[in-house]
Structure 1
Amino acid sequence: MSDVVFGETSNLKPSQARTLARLGERRVSADAVVSAPLARDLLALSHELNRRIGLFLDRRGRVNRVILGDAHSLELPEFERVRGADGRLRGIRLVLTHLVPDPLDREELADLAKLRLDMVAALHDSPGGMHVDIACLEPAREKGKGFAIRRIDRAPVALLSPDAGGRNREAHPRPDLPSDFTAFIRELEGLLVAATAQTKAAGTGTRAMVLQVHTDQMNREGGIEARQAELRELCRTAGVDLVELVCQRRRYPDPRTFLGSGKLREVLISALEQDVELLICDPELSASQARVIADSTDLGVIDRTMLILDIFAQHARSSDGKLQVELAQLRYRLPRMIGKGTMMSRLGGGIGGRGPGESKLEVDRRRAQKRINELEKRLQKLQRQRDQRRARRRRSDVPVVAIVGYTNAGKSTLLNTVTESEVIAENKLFATLDPTVRRVRFPDEREVVMLDTVGFIRELPPALMQAFSATLEEVAEADLLLHVVDATDPDNTQQIRTVEKILGDLGAGGVERFMVYNKCDLLPPELILPPEEQKQGSFQISAQDRRSTRGLMLAIEERLWQRGKVDSPRPDYAVDGSEPVED
């Protein structure tokens, strides 16, 4: 069989195989989509074989590939050369047959968008003769989209393929059909390049689409809107330009394609229309799901966990934090480094057992495991240093107050306000990654160590919990916790439950705590309670206003005095008299 033919040909007769191969020798005029004779022969052979047939034609009218499918679909071969960047088209058009007069289906439109073909033309018989359905890309009118799909249905083939004598040309051709294919494609490609440049210039980062499966578990927990808002905020923090969030309600994600193959095709078309480079999936993907989606779309694919890990990598400043983030990333990725039927054990060696050596996948896995072991040893050394610092604090009998809470609740801002520090505090998730320790000096030389910790989030990745366990254990050994809550967040009840669950997992569930409702200056007046009406151990503050923290600081001193950690509280205590001392 000729190298130009792609598809299963083993059950063809020799004469049919030769006829199929000879299609690769045909040519059409450069200014025509397809010639009428070629269209008739292609459709006749397709009916004879009862299988779809497709041709890849270049812009010179030469047949690059003959594709043999089944009665319902075509599987297209891979392209060796890369084209289609920055809005350019592939330089190849696909002409295929339909055995029944069906319009171009979702699969064919997805291939048009994914491969950035010049055009897709589907030939079929109809009561009025042989007709063609055409689709091509064109610049989108809708803001934020790179291109749309233009469709021309039920056009007579004769309109697309004028012969030398003009016998097949109709007197009044449709105005939406290209009379000169070459000129039409050049003009179209120029418009697409300009539209793509404009779209990228308007973007703020990697263009991404979130794919979320609204599972039964999410439905039971509630707060799907809050979860979506959180995903948007994660994208903003990571510097991702989120162009669309697609939510599908299912009992559980499709075990193979996450959304289901049909929905995934729809998503692919929409993603390519909007020049999306990255798909972010929620909930977590399995390794096989990530591979199938990536193979189906040729786009970057990550899940919510990988997005959080990327944010941690961006915000890690200290060597300790960077090592912990790298360890978390490697632990998460190692189980997902899999091959098709590849054993992970070392190939046999010795006499009669020597093989070609390890595969690249095996080498990568071994390198990753070696790096994990190195990081664990270095972090163990840093943990011993932290243990020594904690031991010194215990010997000096300095009480520790740990600030905990959901991410972006205002923990670092509170630390800065009460200690006059300059810890990085931004309106972003996980702006604080490296734990920060500062001392607050009360009157009569009494001191309290305040510890700012990394923010929590629902479904905190286990890889992060494990990597940061040595740091987070400071929380379990604290004398008092300040649980900071964003009072303005409509989902703060669920956030409180999330933080309490994580504290329990860390062994800090029994540590005394104050509930600190932050950002109360943004609440309606009727929701702000006077101090005498607030519950014991609960405080409404604005972390940016030092005066609003006065009651909280007095309560901290009183609570620690009751436990024998500091001297009796003085009635003339003044928050303004506190002095920050770096630990």
Structure 2
Amino acid sequence: MLKTFTHASLGLTPIDTIHGNLKGLKSSQLKQLQRLYQQSVPGDRLTTPELAQRIAAISSELNQPVSIYLNRRGKVIRVGVGAPRETQIPPLELPRYGAERLSGIRCLTASPKDHPPNEACLTSMVLQRLDALVTFTLSGSGSTQRGRGSVGYIKNVYLSHLLPQNHPSHAYWQVSEAQSLEAIAQQDFLDLVENLEAEFRRDFTAQRVEAGHDRVILVGLQTEGIGDRRFQDGLTELERLVDTAGGEVLFKMEQKRAKPHPQTLVGSGKVEEIALQVQTLGANLVVFDQDLSPAQGRNIERQLGVKVCDRTEVILDIFAQRAQSQAGKLQVELAQLEYMLPRLVGRGQAMSRLGGGIGTRGPGETKLETERRTIQSRLSRLQKEVDQLQAHRSRMRSQRQRQDVPTFAIVGYTNAGKSTLINALTNAEVYAADQLFATLDPTTRRLTLIDENHETQTILLTDTVGFIHELPPALVDAFRATLEEVTEADALIHVVDLSHPAWRHQLTSVEKILADMPIMPAQALLVFNKLDQVSSEALQDAKLLHPNAVYISASDRLGFETLRQRLAQMLKQL
């Protein structure tokens, strides 16, 4: 049973808190542990024989490991009963440091068992990014080492420290052979730390990314019902989403489970593996390919000590960056607040500018309740503005319909080439780039068609926001004013990126989203894009599956004549 011994029971100050397993300990033993906070060592020494003796004596009396943590000034900042794993400093309480630095904290631990530090202790060292871990092992009885004064029950001493990732051994740590206490006590601690951090800086500089970029670890979870190909395609797409959002993927981790873990999605063992990579690579963000519940997100962040987000949050971030018009920004903010509302704990202070003060708080409200009221008030206001936007667009569509100009909505998976197509057909100058969700705001342009009778007719082409598989519900709801451009169109042009390895899955995803919409146009034309990047075999396979589709290259304007003819034929059938 783990509990914390605090100043409440012994009259200690908060800094004298004893951590770990304190069950069955006597008051005199707890006071001995508390007195360790009064100890210190010279700043350039790992330990002193006197401090090592005190830790060993207490560990021997308790017949349990005892661990203490010191800062670089040699001051004891944490005392615990148990091995480093049971007494470690929570990630959120550790100092902020980068991949090129250590935490500035070292651990001295005494163990009644005579063996080198085990993997759990060494993993704890990595998770805390300790300067060093010094392990004293004890003999069964009596003194086995003697130097200046009695050294108590210490038998062997082991020095452990981290290794940079470019180390030839590819190990996370290095453990010394058993040493004498005198040798450890005489070692220059500052020299050791400075040399280690110099190596970490060289390693960090070699893999450094542009300043301002998030350093990201991706985590993919493959559960029952998700095939290998679909899983890998999803992870690749998530990497592109992170890149589009401005992050740099350092490492990808994968796990197979029958179903997600209810507390941490991937289980405690995998969370520990992720934590090791976070500390080793200096990542500041972990992104999961599946949506996290609010509790899962908080649990994982508490264990990793860095920001954690899921696929939906990455997409929301991209939308926030891409929104240009006032309407687009409005819809993005609405989607973000709807996503944030159930995840409010610890995030509400940034919303204080939106409300608060006299008249906004109920009797006895907690901080969380106040935050929730603030965001709900803002949500209601945004909802009204979106409703007004929806009404405005409805009036605009009514005007177009009175002019009897048919509308063709261009739909498709994100980055399929929709904006490039409307630019090539109408010289619209819509922003187009090889990015996911490059454009969010709908753009409508006129296009003149000539049928087989050489008669000219005009249609309106509307470029819409790109789709993605499992489009976040918050986005679907917030962007309903934009998506109505699809439902109110007379016909659809479904653009598919034929060069993408997962084009079949993307096509199916878009069709599923369209099928879920309340009203859909009867006419739809399937257009396969990026013909210039497709092999003849892949093209032949697509034509066998979709013989009635049109095959084009929007960037090279290939197949446009056929496309115009098919659009004119569709127009006659409206």
Alignment correspondent of 1:471: 482
CA contact (8 A) 1:103 1:153 kept: no
In structure 2, C-alpha distance between the alignment counterparts of 1:194 and 1:536, rounded to whole Å: 57
CA contact (8 A) 2:431 2:438 kept: yes
The worse-fitting range, judged by mean Cα deviation, of 32-41 and 45-54 is: 32-41
CA contact (8 A) 1:6 1:77 kept: no
Does residue 467 of structure 2 align to residue 452 of structure 1? no
Does residue 377 of structure 2 align to residue 370 of structure 1? yes
How has the CA–CA distance of structure 1 residues 104 and 309 changed in structure 2, closer, same or farther, with 3 Å as cutoff? farther
Q: Figure out how many residues of one structure are paired with residues of the other and give that number.
A: 533
Alignment correspondent of 1:379: 386
Q: TM-score, with normalisation over the residues of structure 2?
A: 0.84
In structure 2, C-alpha distance between the alignment counterparts of 1:109 and 1:86, rounded to whole Å: 18
Deviations 1:204-244 (A, max 9, x none): 8211001111111323x951121111111111111110011
How has the CA–CA distance of structure 1 residues 126 and 244 changed in structure 2, closer, same or farther, with 3 Å as cutoff? farther
CA contact (8 A) 1:309 1:325 kept: yes
How has the CA–CA distance of structure 1 residues 536 and 42 changed in structure 2, closer, same or farther, with 3 Å as cutoff? closer
Aligned residue type for 1:273? T
Does residue 81 of structure 2 align to residue 57 of structure 1? no
Aligned residue type for 1:542? S
In structure 2, C-alpha distance between the alignment counterparts of 1:183 and 1:533, rounded to whole Å: 70
In structure 2, C-alpha distance between the alignment counterparts of 1:511 and 1:562, rounded to whole Å: 10
Deviations 1:345-376 (A, max 9, x none): xxxxxxxxx96x43322222111111111111
The worse-fitting range, judged by mean Cα deviation, of 280-289 and 185-194 is: 185-194
Alignment correspondent of 1:149: 172
Aligned residue type for 1:184? L
Q: How does 1:157-306 map to 2 (within 5 A)?
A: 157-158=180-181, 160-162=183-185, 179-193=187-201, 195-197=203-205, 199-201=207-209, 205-219=213-227, 222-306=229-313
CA contact (8 A) 1:131 1:154 kept: no
How has the CA–CA distance of structure 1 residues 81 and 206 changed in structure 2, closer, same or farther, with 3 Å as cutoff? closer
In structure 1, C-alpha distance between the alignment counterparts of 2:100 and 2:541, rounded to whole Å: 60
Q: CA deviation at 1:408?
A: 0.6
CA contact (8 A) 1:204 1:241 kept: no
Query: Which secondary structure does the structure 2 equivalent of 1:218 belong to?
Result: coil
Give the counterpart of 1:500 among 504, 508, 511: 511
Give the counterpart of 2:101 among 76, 88, 93: 88
Alignment correspondent of 2:165: 140
Give the counterpart of 2:126 among 113, 131, 154: 113
Deviations 1:72-127 (A, max 9, x none): 83243789784535733333211113343454445544443343321122222479
CA contact (8 A) 2:490 2:521 kept: no
In structure 2, C-alpha distance between the alignment counterparts of 1:13 and 1:533, rounded to whole Å: 81
Deviations 1:479-513 (A, max 9, x none): 21111111111211111111111001113556321
Q: CA deviation at 1:25?
A: 3.5
CA contact (8 A) 2:18 2:33 kept: no
In structure 2, C-alpha distance between the alignment counterparts of 1:161 and 1:523, rounded to whole Å: 65
In structure 1, C-alpha distance between the alignment counterparts of 2:472 and 2:543, rounded to whole Å: 40
In structure 1, C-alpha distance between the alignment counterparts of 2:265 and 2:156, rounded to whole Å: 37
CA contact (8 A) 2:264 2:299 kept: yes
In structure 2, C-alpha distance between the alignment counterparts of 1:525 and 1:75, rounded to whole Å: 59
Q: CA deviation at 1:269?
A: 1.2
CA RMSD of superposed structures (Å)? 3.2
In structure 1, C-alpha distance between the alignment counterparts of 2:411 and 2:80, rounded to whole Å: 61
Aligned residue type for 2:392? Q
Deviations 1:302-330 (A, max 9, x none): 10000000011111111111111110010
Q: How does 1:530-569 map to 2 (within 5 A)?
A: 537-563=548-574
In structure 1, C-alpha distance between the alignment counterparts of 2:538 and 2:26, rounded to whole Å: 82
CA contact (8 A) 1:473 1:506 kept: no
Deviations 1:156-204 (A, max 9, x none): 24254357xxxxxxxxxxxxxxx32222223333443454455435678
In structure 2, C-alpha distance between the alignment counterparts of 1:478 and 1:61, rounded to whole Å: 72
Aligned residue type for 2:536? P
CA contact (8 A) 2:84 2:124 kept: no
Query: Which secondary structure does the structure 2 equivalent of 1:265 belong to?
Result: helix
Q: CA deviation at 1:10?
A: 6.8
CA contact (8 A) 1:57 1:65 kept: yes
Q: CA deviation at 1:403?
A: 0.8
The unaligned stretches of length 5 or more in structure 2 are 1-9, 145-153, 347-361
Give the counterpart of 2:329 among 307, 313, 322: 322
In structure 2, C-alpha distance between the alignment counterparts of 1:442 and 1:496, rounded to whole Å: 27
Q: CA deviation at 1:29?
A: 4.8
CA contact (8 A) 1:32 1:162 kept: yes
Query: Which secondary structure does the structure 2 equivalent of 1:478 belong to?
Result: coil
In structure 2, C-alpha distance between the alignment counterparts of 1:529 and 1:37, rounded to whole Å: 80
CA contact (8 A) 1:36 1:157 kept: no
Aligned residue type for 1:96? T
Alignment correspondent of 2:18: 6
Q: CA deviation at 1:452?
A: 0.8
Q: CA deviation at 1:562?
A: 2.8
Alignment correspondent of 2:36: 23
Q: How does 1:56-75 map to 2 (within 5 A)?
A: 56-69=69-82, 73-75=86-88
Q: CA deviation at 1:257?
A: 1.8
Alignment correspondent of 1:351: none
Query: Which secondary structure does the structure 1 equivalent of 2:208 belong to?
Result: helix
The worse-fitting range, judged by mean Cα deviation, of 421-430 and 468-477 is: 468-477
CA contact (8 A) 2:60 2:138 kept: no
In structure 1, C-alpha distance between the alignment counterparts of 2:211 and 2:85, rounded to whole Å: 39
How has the CA–CA distance of structure 1 residues 106 and 433 changed in structure 2, closer, same or farther, with 3 Å as cutoff? farther
